Amino acid sequence: MLQVPFIRENKDLVINRLAKRNINASDMINQVITLDEERRSIQAKLDNTLAESNALSKEIGVLYKTGKAEEANLLKEKTSYLKESSKQLNEDLSTKASELNELLYKIPNVPNELVPAGNTDEDNEEVFKEGDVPVLHDDALPHWELAKKYDIIDFELGNKITGAGFPVYKGKGARLQRALIAYFLDKNTAAGYTEYQLPHLVNEASGFGTGQLPDKEGQMYHVTGDNLYLIPTAEVPGTNIFRDTLLNESDLPIGITGYTPCFRREAGSYGAHVRGLNRLHQFDKVEIIRVEHPSRSYEALNEMVNHIKIILNELKLPYRILRLCGGDLTFASSLTYDFEVFSTAQNRWLEVSSVSNFETFQANRLKLRFKNTIGKNELAHTLNGSALALPRVLAGILENYQTKDGIVVPKVLQSYTGFSIID
């Protein structure tokens, strides 16, 4: 969520930038400022009332000690009125505070100046493109056909065991999947990220900390018996490591990486664009997360982008990088780059990574701060990105590396798979 003092001091900028998301925020922003003023004035009244009653209580204590019980009883009567009014003020305060918060939860992050205005993915800006699209033989197949032909992913079996969107990887398919995970983790740790194994279920407070709750509750699987949620991404447990944390400036930057399965309910649409591995209820992902000093978070974002470039270059997959427009930007992000791999047999681009700078938007909710050099607590910047999401990388490999003799395993993965062709 946005910081109220920032809104107060940069009202026009906030409204203008939010317009890039096609949001007319001026009413909301004005209301935030009004509610905050009201909240602070109630707070001041409450403080005064409490100060008065604290002073009286102290006096009563002294009177009792010196044996002046009658005078004490006289003062006690006075306090009942103070009690009444502080109770009332307290209620007013929490009403006002929750009104303000509810409004703040509805306001998305302020887009960075680089973010192009726009509504749909048509308006995303292609900023980079690399790799040659392979020329495939005439009988080239989409990955779901390849999966069946080589018996490496069984979608029907997943239907039987669980339901649609829970594929079963087997044999060389399973091994290739494991190879990718190991390869990604190795690349990430070599780049300085610390490897974590994180819980796959999180509590309400964590869901709230990264913003999945309260609004996007329906996107997560909810284990009602224990009131826990299956993670939709490692971002949730990974970023919540830092919930309610006060760091030293010297602790920054922090970089972590982790592999987790990801669970998404994503109320189902069906059709060719979600076939096979394109969209699943359970999939694997290796995530990178960074906590940065505000002064260098955009430098960090570029480092993350370059890191993912290197991985895709090594895998020799054709890809492009998009700078997301305001309409496509996720709620919490200020600036996002999407990586898309070209899937030759489907003749379309598949999103394999999304790298974002959230600036202080997440940190504010998380209460993730650091003590700066002049001893003041300051919100840190958080960033995260996929490095990388497995299924669509796998789809890209299967489709782009298919030959008449089988699917060739990308060179960098061969030491991990132990085989060089799937046939």
Output the smallest distance, CB 228 to RNA, in A.
10
In the sheet that 201-202 helps form, which strands lie side by side, from edge to edge? 201-202, 228-230, 222-223
Please work out the total of residues on this chain that contact RNA, with binding judged by CB under 7 A: 25
Which residues within the stretch 205-244 sit at the binding site for RNA (CB under 7 A)? none
* Residue with smaller CB distance to RNA, 157 or 246: 246
C-alpha distance across the termini of the chain, in Å: 51
Token pair recorded at residue 58:
């102290």
Q: What torsion, rounded to 10 degrees, do the Cα atoms 206, 211, 214, 217 define?
A: -80
Output the smallest distance, CB 371 to RNA, in A.
7
Residue 411 interacts with RNA (CB under 7 A): yes or no: no
Token pair recorded at residue 226:
């224990």
| Of the residues 47, 126, 299, 423, which one makes contact with RNA according to CB under 7 A | 47
The whole-angstrom separation of Cα 183 and Cα 197 is: 16
Q: Could you give the angle at the alpha carbon of 292 between the alpha carbons of 289 and 297, nearest 5°? A: 95
Residue 360 interacts with RNA (CB under 7 A): yes or no: no
| Of the residues 54, 95, 306, 403, which one makes contact with RNA according to CB under 7 A | 54
Instruction: Determine the interface stretch with RNA among 47-55, 261-269, 328-336, 354-362 (rule: CB under 7 A).
Output: 47-55
| Of the residues 57, 101, 189, 414, which one makes contact with RNA according to CB under 7 A | 57
* Residue with smaller CB distance to RNA, 361 or 370: 370
| Of the residues 13, 30, 37, 64, which one makes contact with RNA according to CB under 7 A | 64
| Of the residues 48, 119, 302, 415, which one makes contact with RNA according to CB under 7 A | 48
Output the smallest distance, CB 60 to RNA, in A.
4
Token pair recorded at residue 85:
């009014």
| Of the residues 22, 34, 58, 273, which one makes contact with RNA according to CB under 7 A | 58
Residue 43 interacts with RNA (CB under 7 A): yes or no: yes
Instruction: Determine the interface stretch with RNA among 42-50, 139-147, 156-164, 169-177 (rule: CB under 7 A).
Output: 42-50
Q: Are the C-beta atoms of residues 386 and 260 closer than 8 Å to each other?
A: no
Q: Are the C-beta atoms of residues 152 and 173 closer than 8 Å to each other?
A: yes
* Residue with smaller CB distance to RNA, 55 or 310: 55
Of 269, 268, 265, 264, nearest to 284 (Cα)? Answer: 264
Residue 51 interacts with RNA (CB under 7 A): yes or no: yes
Output the smallest distance, CB 169 to RNA, in A.
22
* Contacts with 52 (C-beta within 8 Å, 6 or more apart), sequence order: 82
Output the smallest distance, CB 395 to RNA, in A.
33
Output the smallest distance, CB 253 to RNA, in A.
21
In terms of Cβ atoms closer than 10 Å to its own Cβ (0-12, 13-18, 19+), residue 374 is exposed
* Residue with smaller CB distance to RNA, 58 or 273: 58
Output the smallest distance, CB 364 to RNA, in A.
11
Residue 79 interacts with RNA (CB under 7 A): yes or no: yes
Q: Among the residues of 24-68, which ranges form H helices? A: 26-65
**Residue 331 CA: distances (Å) to CA of 36, 52, 108, 118, 285:** 22, 44, 5, 15, 21
Which residues within the stretch 362-381 sit at the binding site for RNA (CB under 7 A)? 369, 377
* Residue with smaller CB distance to RNA, 53 or 417: 53
The residue ranges of DSSP E strands in 228-324, in sequence order, are: 228-230, 245-248, 254-263, 282-292, 319-323
The whole-angstrom separation of Cα 175 and Cα 397 is: 14
Catalog residues that contact RNA under the rule CB under 7 A.
Answer: 40, 43-44, 46-48, 50-51, 53-58, 60-61, 64-65, 76, 79-80, 83, 246, 369, 377
